[in-house]
Amino acid sequence: MTPRTLGASNLKVSPLCLGGNVFGWTIDETTSGKILDGFVAAGFNFIDTADVYSRWAPGHKGGESETIIGNWLKRSRKRSKVVIATKVGMEMGPNDKGLSKAYILRAVENSLQRLQTDYIDLYQSHQDDPSTPIEETLEAYAELVKQGKVRVIGASNFTADRLQESLLVSAREGYPRYESLQPHYNLVERARFEEALEPLCIDKKLGVIPYFSLASGFLTGKYRSEADLAKSPRGQGVKKYLDDRGRRILAALDQVAENTNATPGKVAIAWLLARPSVTAPIASATTIEQLQDLVDAVNLTLDPESVEILNRASAWSGQAGVSS
């Protein structure tokens, strides 16, 4: 497995990023630790979380995922072996959100404390904050980088225009620049990223860390009919994919999976890894078996014919050569 460089930084990351959103939410701390141990034992090093994980769960206040990762780092003594990515900006409480300098400087201390570390490898703006000047946000990050509390910064859920503007401000003012983008991107969600963000990321040599790589489980083939939606609480979230295009994508995944002796989910991850822009897809695992599937996906290389089958089935309306 060849490490990949994140943007123009010197961060070397594995070609798969372990999503930490499930830690303390759908799996407990013990299971989370086993997943983290297995991930590192398999040769991977890239772990993604956020301060807000998992504030949406009843009784949670946010910080649960970072806390579990921090306990694991202390117990395992593997801090030097992993690249920790976390985020700031989503609402953590009254007046605790956004990308103002004051809030970032306060929030990073909370994340560092929960993670039980004195530095964050990749600190990301979780979402754009139009109410705060870009200069102010980047000035805060510049201070943190200078202090050694943050190594590299990244953006998540930005439009191409706002990402481009941020890069221009960094260049003009001499601030650290966003070295990565975390977009919503997978076989069924292609248009928003590929239209404007992908060309920008390639041109500016930004790392790309897609989330929802398996489209909330849809691309594993788990949901093939309305009746299947009841299999999981996430079922209603994939209902929108059960249209003609979604079924075409599943059929293509089945075809390639059969040809490669793999599973649809492994093929969906391998397709992302075959994109020239993608650095490391983010995927979560709640069992060791699921983790093994992710590891296997990284070792699956699709031939050009298989990639074309998937591209054709998932082509989006408005794409060059595709009619509405």
pLDDT tens across the length of the chain (324 residues): 789 999 999 999 999 999 999 999 999 999 999 999 999 999 999 999 999 999 999 999 999 999 999 999 999 999 999 999 999 999 999 889 999 999 999 999 999 999 999 999 999 999 999 999 999 999 999 999 999 999 999 999 999 999 999 999 999 999 999 999 999 999 999 999 999 999 999 999 999 999 999 998 899 998 998 888 887 767 778 999 999 999 999 999 999 999 999 999 999 999 999 999 999 999 999 999 999 999 999 999 999 999 999 999 999 876 644 433
If we measure between CA atoms, which residue out of 122, 100, 88 comes closest to residue 12?
A: 122
Looking at residue 154, which CATH number applies to its domain? 3.20.20.100
Distance separating alpha carbons of residues 119 and 11, to the nearest angstrom: 13
185 is a catalytic site residue = no
The answer to the question of residue 173 being in a domain is yes
Residue 272, in any domain of the structure = no
Identify each DSSP E strand in the chain by its residue range.
4-5, 12-13, 17-19, 46-48, 83-88, 120-125, 150-156, 178-182, 207-208, 282-283
251 found inside a domain: no
Domain range for residue 83? Answer: 4-182
Distance CA 31, CA 26 (A): 10
Q: So what's the pLDDT on residue 233? A: 66
At 137 the pLDDT is 98
Q: Is residue 66 part of a domain?
A: yes
Q: What is the pLDDT of residue 323?
A: 37
Interstrand relation of 83-88 and 120-125 (parallel, antiparallel or unpaired): parallel
Question: 308 in a domain, yes or no?
Answer: no
pTM of the shown model: 0.95
The CA distance from 172 to 153, in Å, is 17
Would you say residue 282 lies in a domain? Answer: no
Is residue 156 assigned to a domain? Answer: yes
pLDDT at residue 218 in the model: 94
The total of structural domains in the chain comes to: 1
* Other beta carbons within 10 Å of 199: 12
Q: Which of 53, 123, 141, 185 is catalytic?
A: 53
CA atoms within 13 Å, Cβ hemisphere of 312: 10
The reported pLDDT for the residue numbered 95 is 87
